[in-house]
Structure 1
Amino acid sequence: MNHARLAPSRPFSRPLLRAAGLALVLLLSACGFQMRGETPLPFDTLYVTIPDNTKFGADVRRSLRAASPNTRLTTTGKEAQAILQQVGDARGLREVSLNAQGRVEEYELSINFTFRLIDAKGNAIIPDTTLTAYQQMPYDDQVMQAKEDQMNMLYENMQQSLVNRLLRRLTSQDVRDAAARLKQGVDDPNAPVYDPNAAQAMPDVPYPMRSPSVNDARQRY
């Protein structure tokens, strides 16, 4: 029996593969497909009042740019179609458990971040909303420095969790729907109206904002 020998297939050149890949990306983009990780905001421009000299503010801006690369973050509210206003950022440290000698065995860490999203006229897209994060931490005053480092790490993890939740809220479908209605001039008579020029209020946190320390709690006694 004769067996026909198949000629070895000729490999595609790298330039050809790159061109084919680019064409596929452009085609998917034209069809509305978005790369994983990108969830564009329904605005071309956005002003963020969260202080940018804090890690939280920097992380929020970094996440917004990554999720919505075509949205430009402006330096003033007058340039923006929408404004993300920080209303409050309260960070707490509470004793939740004491041992027989009256020493703290466990702390509860908390962050309460309140924000709103408005259009350039002050119409609420997202009215005042509070995102809360809690974390409990066992404590031993014999290794105070180690616990201080652990506390800072926990606060950073809580902050990142709030950044992720904030981003999901800003890119949700109801925000898209509200933004579309406002662009069409359809106002919700029941939605609150805020001052687009209002400065952020941070009465609960020193500026620049920082997380509490176990030293703060010890000073009360």
Structure 2
Amino acid sequence: MHSAPSRPQHCSRWWLRAVSLATVMLLAACGFTMRGVTPLPFETLYVGIPDNTRFGADVRRAIRASSPDTKLVGTPKEAAAILQLVANDRSLREVSLNAQGRVEEYELGIIFTFRLITNKGIAILPDTTLSVYREMPYDDQVVQAKQAQMETLYESMQESLVSRLLRRLTAPEVHTAYAAAQRGDINPDNPVYDPNFAPSNERPETWQTPGSPGTGNW
């Protein structure tokens, strides 16, 4: 038969809960922002990445989670700031061959270039390129399985890009540059972009291993 917890143990646990609750309330009163919520400095944002792709959906989801007070709008003219997709490419490179000249390993890559501008085209973040690479063993005897593995790796690489993109968008320099643009303190050497710019390759080509159809999309 188990004995009931002693009164000192019960009181200790109650005291720890009370202290934890008081700490959280104190931090909230001081304006402390919990990790994972890093507000953007603008109230409205247009995301120029197709929302009918997994990557575009993940970027929007991450922005909403990090900056819930920033409204994502449907057109550039509604936005205080615009996230433009400049280029979006996948690469596939043979890394090693076996004695028969068959590929033993591929290197997969994603190269993503973006810019962040105001609704007047002033650069907050000029063209910035993020890239990620993964190596994958390959066996041409199991092409379909390797194609599926390749798509899984690309999805994992996209998740890494979303995290890195969000860190860039929420960096202190973005707050500083946006505030300067709002004040009219514009560096004359900075380019001015077209707020309605749209890239020619919004969806990167789905790379295929030899003899296999592409599957999945960004």
Name the TM-score class by shorter chain: 0.7 to 0.9
Task: Give 1:55's aligned residue.
Answer: 54
Using the TM superposition, give the Cα deviation of residue 211 of structure 1 relative to its aligned residue in structure 2, in angstroms. 3.3
Query: Is 2:102 aligned against 1:96?
Result: no
Q: Counterparts in 2 of 1:8-23, with a 5 A limit?
A: none
Task: Give 2:74's aligned residue.
Answer: 75
Q: Which amino acid aligns with 1:87?
A: V
Residues in 2 aligned to 1:30 and 1:190: alpha-carbon distance in whole angstroms = 42
Q: Which amino acid aligns with 2:169?
A: L
Secondary structure of residue in 2 paired with 1:199:
coil
Displacement over 3 Å in runs of 4+: 23-30, 215-218
Task: Give 2:3's aligned residue.
Answer: none
Q: Counterparts in 2 of 1:122-201, with a 5 A limit?
A: 122-201=121-200
Secondary structure of residue in 2 paired with 1:179:
helix
With normalisation by structure 1, the TM-score equals 0.82
Task: Give 2:209's aligned residue.
Answer: 214
Instruction: Supply the RMSD in Å over aligned alpha carbons.
Output: 2.6
Change (3 A) 1:214 1:127: same
Change (3 A) 1:36 1:176: same
CA contact 2:89–2:110 (8 Å) conserved in 1: yes
* Matched residues, number: 201
CA contact 1:49–1:200 (8 Å) conserved in 2: no
Secondary structure of residue in 2 paired with 1:108:
strand
Using the TM superposition, give the Cα deviation of residue 25 of structure 1 relative to its aligned residue in structure 2, in angstroms. 6.1
With normalisation by structure 2, the TM-score equals 0.83
Task: Give 1:87's aligned residue.
Answer: 86
Q: Tell me, which stretches of 5 or more residues in structure 2 are unaligned? A: 1-7, 214-218
Residues in 2 aligned to 1:216 and 1:122: alpha-carbon distance in whole angstroms = 45
Q: Which amino acid aligns with 1:115?
A: F
Q: Tell me, which stretches of 5 or more residues in structure 1 are unaligned? A: 1-5
Using the TM superposition, give the Cα deviation of residue 121 of structure 1 relative to its aligned residue in structure 2, in angstroms. 0.5
Q: Which has the larger radius of gyration?
A: 1
Task: Give 1:3's aligned residue.
Answer: none
Task: Give 2:117's aligned residue.
Answer: 118
Q: Which deviates further from its counterpart, 46-55 or 140-149? A: 140-149
Residues in 1 aligned to 2:210 and 2:74: alpha-carbon distance in whole angstroms = 37
Using the TM superposition, give the Cα deviation of residue 31 of structure 1 relative to its aligned residue in structure 2, in angstroms. 2.4
Kindly, what percent of the aligned residue pairs are identical? 61
CA contact 2:144–2:212 (8 Å) conserved in 1: no
